[in-house]
Amino acid sequence: MRIGIVGLGLIGGSLAIDLRRQGHYLLGVSRRPETCQQAVSQGMVDQAEPEMALMQSAEVIFLCTPLGALENAVDQLLPHLSPSTILTDVGSVKAPVVAQLAPRWPNFVGGHPMAGKAESGLEAAEAGLFVNRAYVLTPTETTPPAALKTVAGLAESLQSQLYYCDPVAHDRAVAWISHLPVMLSASLIAACLAEPEPAVAELAENLASSGFRDTSRVGGGNPELGVMMARYNQTALLQSLLAYRKQLDDMIQTIQQQDWSGLEQKLAQTQQGRTRFKICQ
Amino acid sequence: MRIGIVGLGLIGGSLAIDLRRQGHYLLGVSRRPETCQQAVSQGMVDQAEPEMALMQSAEVIFLCTPLGALENAVDQLLPHLSPSTILTDVGSVKAPVVAQLAPRWPNFVGGHPMAGKAESGLEAAEAGLFVNRAYVLTPTETTPPAALKTVAGLAESLQSQLYYCDPVAHDRAVAWISHLPVMLSASLIAACLAEPEPAVAELAENLASSGFRDTSRVGGGNPELGVMMARYNQTALLQSLLAYRKQLDDMIQTIQQQDWSGLEQKLAQTQQGRTRFKICQ
């Protein structure tokens, strides 16, 4: 199959590596000519160019730009395509992307391969990035079954675990498990940094151990990524944040009232409930 | 030196192992006769018994019971001691412990070796648990310098990093970096578990990855330990929780107002600020 990748970063590059090894013919587009050169010379793609015209022979195209660059990329891409071309994206938010793309390109399938790394860019791309990781597809009533089947087949060929859901359910789920943790973890760091007494602040900086390190990790991540989450998943994230604040207020009240058996019950529930999450088992 | 350990659990057992290997004579007390037997047969201590009378020949005694059992243990212990005996504890909260013990036993030094593990009990005890970990001592105006020097020497012999501060500063610092993270992490789990739509909840359970796993880890820990933190460090923990809620409210407002440059600035500050914490460097 002739497969196009628009955006040669961590996800686009990693997709290219695995798909080309399977024998597909890979076409890459990146704005930067050096990135195109690098992708070709490292054998990630067969051809790469900054011009979208390269995509006209692709049968399936993965849109792998950052969310903020997606609309612009699509504007430039669509004039070059024949109607049979299947488009799919890899964005971490689905409802706004699907709402924007599906009307403009009926042969579109929303997707989200959930494989992150701290590093980004083509240099961070690697073989097997998607093995045993979730790959969510978000078809709607208007998604052509043949396009869905093709994209699902490619995702399966990466040895990903496929999930199907509607775009809004996806966004609410990732708000809970990905976007909300970033915001509450960042708020933890911000609160610690606001400690008014220098001696206490310094002691905290020295004494923090694995509990603080783990709880603060995602709050200390890439700021642009955090802004993208909030910007494109604002509704679901705010729902989660407000529900979270309610739980936090309950917790504060329980401690203020010295209701220790209530607190123990709460913590026993979270200890038990956490094991429902596959990654925590 | 003849060293006593009251409470043969993770911390007490690990202290015994390291101190005995240095050539000290170790005396252990545990309420359960089987634990005493186990500690002796595994060579952790030279002698162990359920009776506090065993402690009468100890020169330094480490109080290693859970915080909730400390007062009772001290009541039973004090009648057996000569005034030269040095008492020190290992509790994770210092102000209430120091306030309670210092008036009753002048030769007392508050301490907190910060070496935790998910497992507890004597079975979890291990050699070298305190190597390169913080060991905080919280002397006050009334702490005898000789007693402080003796306990500091023993802590140093474990290859711990010694810190000195007053009991209240300790409690405020650990509220930030240890107790607050537990409560906000537990609130995250509680909020996710309260998702009303089963399809979204199930998806979240399946899609959660390392970000959720790390942010929720300490909130899924031992409920009794969480209650102890709140119970004995209530004042400092509530201060931290309220300051945290303020940061969270700021974050929510920033997102509600779609102030994306403000959010990016906030997240850049937390990304940068996190590196001030030694463990995150």
Give backbone dihedrals phi and psi of A83, rounded to 5 degrees, phi first: -60, -20
- Residue B234 forms contact with A (CB below 8 Å): yes
DSSP calls for chain A = -EEEEES-SHHHHHHHHHHHHTT-EEEEE-SSHHHHHHHHHTTS-SEEESSGGGGGG-SEEEE-S-HHHHHHHHHHHGGG--TT-EEEE--S--HHHHHHHTTT-SSEE-EEE----S--SGGG--TTTTTTSEEEE---TTS-HHHHHHHHHHHHHTTPEEEE--HHHHHHHHIIIIIHHHHHHHHHHHHHHT-S-HHHHHHHHHH--HHHHHHHTGGGS-HHHHHHHHHHSHHHHHHHHHHHHHHHHHHHHHHHTT-HHHHHHHHHHHHHHHTTSGGG-
Q: Are B109 and B147 in contact (CB under 8 A)?
A: yes
Tell me if chain A has a CB within 8 Å of the CB of B227: yes
Cβ A205–B242 below 8 Å, yes or no?
no
Residues 245-264 of B with CB under 8 A from A: 245-252, 255-256, 258, 260, 263-264
Q: What is the pLDDT of residue A262?
A: 98
Place of tokens 């202290």: B15
Question: Cβ contact (<8 Å) for B209 and A244?
Answer: no
What pLDDT is attached to residue B115?
86
Q: Quickly state the pLDDT bin for A115 (edges 50, 70, 90).
A: confident
Which tokens sit at A28?
Answer: 């890459």
Give the integer Cα–Cα distance in Å for B30 and B51: 8
Judge whether B53 is closer than 8 Å to chain A, CB to CB.
no
What residues of B are in contact with residue A189 (Cβ under 8 Å)? Answer: 270, 273-274
ipTM comes to: 0.92
Structure token digits, residue A181? 């943790």
Range(s) for CATH 3.40.50.720 in chain A? Answer: 2-165
Determine the 3-state secondary structure of B48 from DSSP: strand
Within 8 A of B130 by CB-CB distance, chain A residues are none
CA distance A71 to chain B (A): 18
- Note whether A215 contacts B214, CB cutoff 8 Å: yes
Distance in angstroms (rounded) separating the CA atoms of residues B194 and B200: 11
- Residue length of chain A: 281
If we measure between CA atoms, which residue out of A116, A152, A167, A151 comes closest to residue A11?
A116
Q: Would an 8 Å CB–CB cutoff place A80 in contact with chain B? A: no
Name the segment(s) of chain B with CATH classification 1.10.3660.10. Answer: 169-280
Could B212 and A177 be called an inter-chain contact, meaning their C-beta atoms sit closer than 8 Å?
yes
For B58, the token pair is 């100890």
Q: Chain B closest CA to A83's CA: distance in Å?
A: 33
Q: Is B131 on the interface with A (CB under 8 A)?
A: no
- Give the separation between CA B131 and CA B60, rounded to whole angstroms: 21
A207 has a chain B CB within 8 A of its CB? yes
Contact A203 B242 (CB under 8 A): no
Nearest to B50, CA basis, from B66, B39, B62, B61: B39
Find, among A72, A155, A144, the residue nearest to A111 by Cα. Answer: A155
pLDDT number for residue A117: 75
Does A212 sit within 8 Å of B178, measured CB to CB?
Answer: yes
Q: Rounded to 5 degrees, what are φ and ψ at A243?
A: -65, -35
Q: Which residues in chain B show pLDDT less than 50?
A: none
Residue B59 near residue B25, CB atoms below 8 Å: no
Choose among A178, A192, A230: nearest Cβ to B263: A230
Q: Which CATH superfamily is domain A169-280 in?
A: 6-phosphogluconate dehydrogenase C-terminal like domain (1.10.3660.10)
Taking CA–CA distances from A175, the nearest residue in chain B reads: B204
B117 touches chain A (CB under 8 A): no
pLDDT on residue B117: 75
What's the average model confidence in pLDDT over A145-172? 98
Residues B257, B264: Cα–Cα separation, whole Å: 13
Q: Rounded to a whole number, what is the distance in angstroms from the first to the last CA of chain B?
A: 38
Q: For A209, which residue in chain B has the nearest alpha carbon?
A: B279
pLDDT value at A51 more than 80 = yes
Provide the edge-to-edge strand list for the sheet that holds B161-164. Answer: B111-113, B134-137, B161-164
Q: Where are the beta strands (DSSP E) in chain B?
A: 2-6, 25-29, 47-49, 60-63, 86-89, 108-109, 111-113, 134-137, 161-164
pLDDT confidence of residue B116: 75
Stated as kind and residue range, the H or E segment containing B14 is helix B10-21
A84 reaches B (C-beta below 8 A):
no
List residues bridging with A134 in a β-sheet.
A161
Instruction: List B4's β-bridge partners, or say none.
Output: B27, B61
A2-165 has which fold?
Answer: Rossmann fold (3.40.50)
Which residues have a Cβ under 8 Å from the Cβ of B23 and sit 6 or more positions away? none
Q: How far does the CA of residue A93 sit from the closest CA of chain B (Å)?
A: 13
8 Å CB contact between B191 and A244: yes
- CB-nearest to A215 from B181, B240, B246 is B181
- Quick check: B279 contacting A, CB < 8 Å? yes
Q: CA B22, CA B153: separation in Å to the nearest integer?
A: 12
- pLDDT at residue A118 above 80? no
**C-alpha–C-alpha distance, residues B244 and B274, integer Å:** 15
Query: And the tokens for A179?
Result: 């976007």
A-B contacts at Cβ under 8 angstroms: 342
**Secondary structure tally for chain B: helices H, strands E:** 12, 9
Q: Is B187 on the interface with A (CB under 8 A)?
A: yes
Q: Are B49 and B22 in contact (CB under 8 A)?
A: no
| Residue B92 contacts A, CB cutoff 8 Å | no
Are A94 and A72 in contact, with CB atoms under 8 Å apart?
no
Report pLDDT for A270.
98
Contact at CB, A220 and B280, closer than 8 angstroms: yes
* Residue B133 DSSP label: S
For testing contact with chain A, the best of B213, B240, B274, B278 (most A CBs within 10 A): B274
Closest listed residue to residue A108, CA positions, set A142, A132, A136, A75:
A142
